[in-house]
Amino acid sequence: MKMAIVGITGYSGLELVKLLNNHKNVTIASIHATKEIGRRLSELYPYLVGVCDLVIEEFNAQEIMAKSDLVFFATPSGVASQLAQSFVEADFPVIDLSGDHRLPADSYEKWYKKIPASDDVLNKFTYALAEFTDVQGKKFISNPGCYATTTELALIPLLKAGVAEEDSIIVDAKSGLTGAGKALSESSHFVNVHDNYVTYKLNRHQHIPEIVQELQLFSKKLHHIQFSTSLLPVNRGIMATSYVKLKKPLSEAELYAIYKDAYKDKPFVRIQDDLPELHNVIGSNFTDIGFVYNDVTNVLTVVSVIDNLIKGAAGQAVQNLNLMNGWNETEGLLISPNYL
Amino acid sequence: MKMAIVGITGYSGLELVKLLNNHKNVTIASIHATKEIGRRLSELYPYLVGVCDLVIEEFNAQEIMAKSDLVFFATPSGVASQLAQSFVEADFPVIDLSGDHRLPADSYEKWYKKIPASDDVLNKFTYALAEFTDVQGKKFISNPGCYATTTELALIPLLKAGVAEEDSIIVDAKSGLTGAGKALSESSHFVNVHDNYVTYKLNRHQHIPEIVQELQLFSKKLHHIQFSTSLLPVNRGIMATSYVKLKKPLSEAELYAIYKDAYKDKPFVRIQDDLPELHNVIGSNFTDIGFVYNDVTNVLTVVSVIDNLIKGAAGQAVQNLNLMNGWNETEGLLISPNYL
Amino acid sequence: MKMAIVGITGYSGLELVKLLNNHKNVTIASIHATKEIGRRLSELYPYLVGVCDLVIEEFNAQEIMAKSDLVFFATPSGVASQLAQSFVEADFPVIDLSGDHRLPADSYEKWYKKIPASDDVLNKFTYALAEFTDVQGKKFISNPGCYATTTELALIPLLKAGVAEEDSIIVDAKSGLTGAGKALSESSHFVNVHDNYVTYKLNRHQHIPEIVQELQLFSKKLHHIQFSTSLLPVNRGIMATSYVKLKKPLSEAELYAIYKDAYKDKPFVRIQDDLPELHNVIGSNFTDIGFVYNDVTNVLTVVSVIDNLIKGAAGQAVQNLNLMNGWNETEGLLISPNYL
Amino acid sequence: MKMAIVGITGYSGLELVKLLNNHKNVTIASIHATKEIGRRLSELYPYLVGVCDLVIEEFNAQEIMAKSDLVFFATPSGVASQLAQSFVEADFPVIDLSGDHRLPADSYEKWYKKIPASDDVLNKFTYALAEFTDVQGKKFISNPGCYATTTELALIPLLKAGVAEEDSIIVDAKSGLTGAGKALSESSHFVNVHDNYVTYKLNRHQHIPEIVQELQLFSKKLHHIQFSTSLLPVNRGIMATSYVKLKKPLSEAELYAIYKDAYKDKPFVRIQDDLPELHNVIGSNFTDIGFVYNDVTNVLTVVSVIDNLIKGAAGQAVQNLNLMNGWNETEGLLISPNYL
């Protein structure tokens, strides 16, 4: 199958190149951006010389549909909502890595401050958390956000099992800088990030409604979550530390069974004996989850970690690609974490 | 006044040298360690050449009392509990930066797994959170822990004002590596810390009982806290993110008044308009506090930051020294944060 | 083909696991260490759960020869010199990643302060810089050091072309911490490395004789090099900055031709237009080389970068494995650099 | 004495605030920038609350001269060359931290690509490397660059002693990111700097002519230097590694004597027994120098380190202020290095 990537110069677009390059069933047919048209990608990014020497092309929906079988949007918010419509109308498969097709129009407008896609288009998209959504045969995939993926995978098993006080949930999430994208700003200047730790968008992060919406599929009693986001002085990796009051005390074995059961036959989620660290997963599509229950406070602390650019973006997109097509879920994704 | 420092080669001991060097009312009379006796401190630490060229001496309580007016213990846990007694018996002033005189004997034994000081000695020590403890004229000071200082200063104003649901408190605290001391271990090896974020001692950190004990001075209804500790890949700095349910909704102005009131005339606590970052305080004795209230979840998020080696150790010790002696509280401590 | 790895818990051993796992022609038959015998590798390193769950075995040369077709030594210096002999005597293939078979016995003893292998064994080993050594059909491979690889690949083209003043060469090389191994020491403690830059073993690094020996294959007039090694506060990556006086001024085009010619048909060496950065290569088996000539000083500055654990260790070992067996040189090694 | 600072929001301006705040003989009368006029500095930089709450003022030469006794320029290149003239004409003291008054007009234009100051003004300025320039009674000081200070202090003793092959000098210098200033660019984005090491402006750094000019004061036989500049993934600190052929072999004792002699009575230069690290000096006004001679290659390697914002900018400016006025050279500058 032939793939087109729109938004090639962002971090997610570049990561898609890496993953699709190692995927047996696909080739990259074309790559698209709004600038640097006509230049080889490897001229701009010399690390890609000999890895991907494709030339950047202007976006043209008709040409993409003529030459490819599926298009990935790895664009900033506000772009796919404008550009995906013609593919949807033509019933041409789309995987959107951006936030543009995750929320109902009014919620999108409120949290993203951008013009939403039409309801018709939005209704055709499936929000696809790969471990919990059946996407086989689906054509329009909205890939979850990085914070959202980390948080949802930690909390869904507890909600499914009905053991959590739904409205007690407090999530303290931390991300490396690639999560904030490539834009130049005071907050991404090396000197301001290095040796620092900065909490931002407290209660205002645009992944909050997406998380609540997904968690409500598993428990209608959940109304809201308390959600913090901070920047770690690292390039990659997200950790979500979730604090959950339990309805009644549970043993470690009971909790372990809840998680193991939720993720049996799920190759990319690992329930770890010890609390996972970022090093567990960076460079891979794994989500690692660990937990500790405190019987004094009755709080369960769940720690979940992912690589924000892989499981939190390009990797989960490829996982969804595999599942849509009925391929082996792990094709192109059996990459060891870097560890160091 | 002449000062002796026991435990000179630890991070807190070295930081004390820096601060006492700039203090008008004191000189360092002697420095002590268990090894490298007879060598100049600046031979071991060339950054100190011309700053402190004192020779390291063996510990000898009688000699210290003969030559100095006060002794600082900047020793690992389990040392001051053994060595401080002779000073106490001689009514010779002690400031202990370690955890050895912060807890009742049974609690100390449980959390530190070391032999406690005698009850007689413990009873003579005052746990001195500099902003809330009256130490003028006191002789035996137990200096608070770094995580404890950061957490207590964030939470006491809410408990004093009676606005917090006492047993709702969840603290997600993060520290740089100097907080973990100089010991060589897998967990302090550069490769394992860099580009990583590791949660450790969850619910088991030895500062927990000290925090609960201090908070209970301000609210008897508080029974426990949920407390997480993680290692940030930086050298210095602690951030405590505290999540507190409020008894009833409060406006930002009301919350601001509570904090401003608690710290009026306290030169080292700054209530900031924005959530503070580590860069706000590193290199200084300041504690910066900021907060955001979420009226959907009714959770108040309080962020407090300190430099763990200064306000969390040597700086607060000097602040206590000043207050004990009725000196200006800021003497020797008016150092700007590094910022970068 | 079946592979055994001796020294599995070192950084190079772990990296070999990652690479051999993705290699079509081989499987890992057994992994060996001196401790943690009987435990799954993924128990010790949870990032490997589901990636490599092999059990660590005691070293036993006979068993390895019975079950495998080749053995890798990824051991600290002083080990392979003792353990490889029985394989050599049995004519069983060995790839040694350590420094134990790179130098003549007297030189090894001088630089490594260890007991050398016997001359008989040493004579059977081939020092195999993959781009310049013909190893097809060879059985005993001594894999070059990380600093050595970075430096030799930068300098050989100039020496081959006869354009360098041989004894003018000054190399200022910098490495990330994984280059220094896993041992716990003051110099690998996070606090001492972070925000620091430390020059060590100046003129005394054990890769110096190996570099001189290899360069002399290309120019007998070279007698020595000036060689500095420093630790960068990063986990991976080496940059060698080489300063070379030219015999006569050369144009950029002439220099480019010299390098392009030396590495035509060499898939892992890329001559870049701009000076390469560590990000160019980390995570991959590439060596990137760039240069700038200064016609005022007549000094050519050559910058070469590699990932020390891949091209500088496990990757080059797999490359040599491929070449020994007449396989495709890139099998198992077509991995994109991480870039970020 | 009252001080005005122009360019307050740059790194050097902020560092000057910190240092002048602790200086007994001066007060800061006014701070100036081109934007954020009328706001408190501590509103923009909350770390300064309670440290410096001055309001930013528009630049006005007449008002500065009316209210202050000296003006510091901590401005980007191209500013002081335009603004300093009116002060010079009024014979009002100026210390310029920028590069605008370091070079003759033609050289400035070539290396800085900016319009130079007039020859009249340039002639009145003294380039003041504090350890080697007599500035007592001088009114117009051009403060050396950060790379230049590090390099000149390492090399002058050898040139003065006549032991160096003048045109053999190769300098491999490395700087933290604050050396590159606050401007937002791809090359200062956290993700591009972290875990990376980048060589830039090779042979083209604007400090090269300044270094050559200063070194020629000590040896007319020196015509040029080979000079590399790279970015270390740290905030602060410069290391210059200088490679120098000696005219004849020298013992370590002879070399030590040369350096000790050059810096006797110089409180801010320390000749260290071991090669200095960045940690030796960061946070202080010290320059640390160490060296190793290689009798095989006849190359002397000299390693010199400074804090680029202190000895390389604001600290040396204060040192020059002290020397101009005949005050104690160390006033306001006796700050211990941070060490960690």
List, for residues D200-211, the tens digit of each pLDDT value. Answer: 999 999 999 999
Q: Which residues of B touch D (CB under 8 A)?
A: 11, 14, 17-18, 21-22, 45-52, 178, 195, 235-236, 267, 270, 272-274, 276, 279-281, 283-284, 286, 288, 309, 334, 336-340
What is the pLDDT at residue B98?
Answer: 98
- What tens digit of pLDDT does each residue of D24-48 get? 999 999 999 999 999 999 999 999 9
The answer to whether C303 and C290 have CB atoms below 8 angstroms apart is yes
- Residue of A9, A14, A47, A303 to mutate for C, most C C-beta atoms under 10 A: A47
Tokens of residue C240, six digits: 């060698």
Neighboring chain A residues of B199 at a CB cutoff of 8 Å = 239, 241, 275, 277, 303
Q: What confidence category does residue C101 fall into, taking pLDDT thresholds of 50, 70 and 90?
A: very high
What interface predicted TM-score (ipTM) does this complex get?
A: 0.96
Cβ of B195 within 8 Å of Cβ of A282? The answer is yes
- Strand, helix or coil for residue D311: helix
- Residue of C191, C192, C235, C278 to mutate for B, most B C-beta atoms under 10 A: C191
What is the pLDDT at residue D153?
Answer: 98
Per-residue pLDDT, averaged over B1-22, amounts to 97
How far is it, in rounded angstroms, from Cα B310 to Cα B314? 5
Per-residue pLDDT, averaged over C131-146, amounts to 97
Nearest to D338 among B21, B46, B283 (CB): B283
Which is the catalytic residue, given B74, B146, B148, B177? B146
Q: What confidence category does residue D181 fall into, taking pLDDT thresholds of 50, 70 and 90?
A: confident
- What tens digit of pLDDT does each residue of D47-86 get? 999 999 999 999 999 999 999 999 999 999 999 999 999 9
Per-residue pLDDT, averaged over C165-193, amounts to 96
User: Residues of chain C with pLDDT > 90: what percent?
Assistant: 99
Per-residue pLDDT, averaged over B33-54, amounts to 97
Per-residue pLDDT, averaged over B175-180, amounts to 96
Q: What confidence category does residue C135 fall into, taking pLDDT thresholds of 50, 70 and 90?
A: very high
Query: Phi first, then psi: what are they for D111, rounded to 5°?
Result: -90, -30
What is the pLDDT at residue C340?
Answer: 86
pLDDT tops 90 at residue D5 = yes
- What tens digit of pLDDT does each residue of D90-141 get? 999 999 999 999 999 999 999 999 999 999 999 999 999 999 999 999 999 9
Catalytic residues of A: 146
Nearest to B189 among C190, C233, C234 (CB): C190
For residue D218, give every residue at least 6 positions away whose Cβ sits within 8 Å of its Cβ, in sequence order, or none. Answer: D156, D159, D160
Bridge pairing between strands C56-57 and D287-294: unpaired
Nearest to D189 among A190, A195, A234 (CB): A190
Q: Which residues pair with C141 in a beta bridge?
A: C95, C126
Per-residue pLDDT, averaged over A275-296, amounts to 98
Cβ of A267 within 8 Å of Cβ of C50? The answer is yes
- Strand, helix or coil for residue C77: coil
Cβ of A233 within 8 Å of Cβ of D195? The answer is no
CA-wise closest residue to D313 among D2, D29, D1, D17: D17
Q: Which residues of B touch A (CB under 8 A)?
A: 167, 170, 172, 174, 191-192, 195-200, 202-203, 224-226, 228, 230, 232-237, 239, 241, 243, 275, 277-279, 282, 292, 294, 296-297, 299, 301, 303, 340
Cβ of B241 within 8 Å of Cβ of A199? The answer is yes
Bridge pairing between strands C94-96 and C70-73: parallel
- What tens digit of pLDDT does each residue of A96-125 get? 999 999 999 999 999 999 999 999 999 999
CA terminus-to-terminus distance, chain D: 34
The answer to whether D338 and D324 have CB atoms below 8 angstroms apart is no
Helix and strand tally (H, E) in chain C? 12, 14
Per-residue pLDDT, averaged over A251-261, amounts to 98
Average predicted confidence (pLDDT) for chain A:
97
Task: Classify the C-alpha dihedral A31-A35-A38-A41 as positive or negative.
Answer: negative
Neighboring chain C residues of D278 at a CB cutoff of 8 Å = 195-198
How far is it, in rounded angstroms, from Cα B154 to Cα B300? 11
Cβ of C182 within 8 Å of Cβ of B193? The answer is no
- What tens digit of pLDDT does each residue of A168-224 get? 999 999 999 999 989 999 999 999 999 999 999 999 999 999 999 999 999 999 999
Cβ of B195 within 8 Å of Cβ of A235? The answer is yes
Q: What confidence category does residue B340 fall into, taking pLDDT thresholds of 50, 70 and 90?
A: confident
Q: Tell me which amino acid residue A205 is.
A: H
Which helix or strand (DSSP H or E) is residue D17 part of?
helix D11-21
- What tens digit of pLDDT does each residue of B210-238 get? 999 999 999 999 999 999 999 999 999 99
How far is it, in rounded angstroms, from Cα A233 to Cα A194? 5
How far is it, in rounded angstroms, from Cα C299 to Cα A142? 55
- What tens digit of pLDDT does each residue of B237-285 get? 999 999 999 999 999 999 999 999 999 999 999 999 999 999 999 999 9
Cβ of C195 within 8 Å of Cβ of D237? The answer is yes
Burial status of residue D252 (CB atoms within 10 A of its CB: 0-12, 13-18, 19 or more) = exposed
User: Residues of chain D with pLDDT > 70: what percent?
Assistant: 100
Neighboring chain A residues of C17 at a CB cutoff of 8 Å = 336
CA-wise closest residue to C148 among C111, C115, C99, C77: C99
Bridge pairing between strands C287-294 and C299-306: antiparallel
| Rounded alpha-carbon distances, angstroms, from residue D53 to C247, D43, D56, D142 | 61, 8, 9, 28
- Residue of D190, D266, D339 to mutate for B, most B C-beta atoms under 10 A: D339
pLDDT tops 90 at residue B129 = yes
Q: What angle do the packed helices B146-161 and B252-262 form, to 10 degrees?
A: 120
Q: Which residue in this structure is represented by tokens 């590495």? A: C263
pLDDT tops 90 at residue D340 = no
- What tens digit of pLDDT does each residue of D272-294 get? 999 999 999 999 999 999 999 99
The answer to whether A121 and A84 have CB atoms below 8 angstroms apart is yes
pLDDT tops 90 at residue D317 = yes
Backbone conformation region of residue A332, classed left if phi is above 0, alpha if psi is from -120 to 50, else beta: left
pLDDT tops 90 at residue A340 = no
How far is it, in rounded angstroms, from Cα C291 to Cα B242? 53
pLDDT tops 90 at residue B181 = no
CA-wise closest residue to B284 among B256, B260, B253, B316: B316
